[in-house]
Amino acid sequence: MVVIGSINMDVVVTVERMPLPGETVAGGSVHQIPGGKGANQAVAARRLGAPTALVGAVGADGFGAVLAGFLGAERIDTSLVRMEHGPSGTALITVANGGENTVIVVAGANGSVSPARVAEATIRAGDVLLLQDEIPGETNEAAARAARAVGARTVLNLAPFRAPSPGLLAATDVLIVNETEFAELVEAPRADAAAIAERLRAELTACNGQPVGDVVVTLGAQGALARIGGEVLALPGRRGPVVDTTGAGDCFCGAFGASLAAGLPATAALERANAAAGLAVGRFGAGPAMPTATEVDAALSGV
């Protein structure tokens, strides 16, 4: 399995509630936690048992060394993670009681992950390629085209949302978005689960007029909706404590990709992804919060 994407240091501040515009509130604590959508997805996939290679970049700073060490300890193939001059990618995150969060991302070294880097990755027939929107859009398109050319499957997480180019959309096998990103994708107001399900049953086109095939819409505590092979599926939300929702979508994507790579059908892969994300929100932080295969299996079996 191959992930091409971002690697960030998350600087996380806890608060009792989110501040209003112009307001100052007291914070509870500050943490530096490895994250970034690409890294989070790679960790989630590796912890579910998928051999995973990550293509990305960190900065030549203290954060870069910590991030590289964390990924190596997770037994991810980091031979294609470069150390670039300048700062590492950084995310400034505020987490309130109940798990609500806000995130500001500064790209840093992630901006150097250019289309030329795609040629360095070994993508084979039958592989699963995971992409997100914290690296340049042209890199995602080059990667998806390369995967399609060799018979690999591409899973694209449109987060943070950026309108996909026609070439990227045409070369993507599964799109994963949350409800806000789905609204932007189909150029419609944000809707509730019932309205999203109705739209999934109809012919979908993206904001550039291109047809949309398989798509998964994550709904937070309400679970997820998916259109796979023309069939609309609903996955219920999983009950449990919510500590921090940061990285839950990344966990879902990584677990889904790992399950596809293991040969599971899409429906079973979605169930594992839903269970994994439900576990991740019960823990603080992003990268280190990703569950293991044993934990996901236990959750699915009701243990």
178 is in an annotated binding site: yes
Tens of pLDDT, residues 86-119? 999 999 999 888 778 888 999 999 999 999 999 9
Q: Is the pLDDT of residue 131 over 90?
A: yes
Q: Is 250 a catalytic residue?
A: yes
9 is in an annotated binding site: yes
Query: What tokens appear for 26 in the block?
Result: 């007291």
Query: What tokens appear for 55 in the block?
Result: 């293509």
> What pLDDT does residue 246 have?
80
Q: Of 61, 192, 250, 297, which residue is the catalytic one?
A: 250
Res. 242 pLDDT band, cuts 50 70 90: confident
Q: Is the pLDDT of residue 33 over 70?
A: yes
Cα–Cα distance between 169 and 63 in angstroms, integer?
Answer: 33
Residue that wins the pLDDT comparison between 209 and 161: 161
Cα–Cα distance between 213 and 230 in angstroms, integer?
Answer: 8
Q: Is the pLDDT of residue 217 over 70?
A: yes
Q: What percent of the chain has pLDDT over 90?
A: 79
> What pLDDT does residue 303 have?
54
Residue burial 145-156, b: 16+ Cβ < 10 Å; e: rest: bbbbeeebbbbb
Res. 237 pLDDT band, cuts 50 70 90: confident
41 is in an annotated binding site: no
Average pLDDT, the chain: 93
> What pLDDT does residue 255 have?
97
22 is in an annotated binding site: no
CATH number among 3.40.50.300, 3.40.1190.20, 3.40.309.10, 3.40.50.620, domain 2-301: 3.40.1190.20
Task: Output the pTM of the full model.
Answer: 0.93
Cα–Cα distance between 70 and 207 in angstroms, integer?
Answer: 37
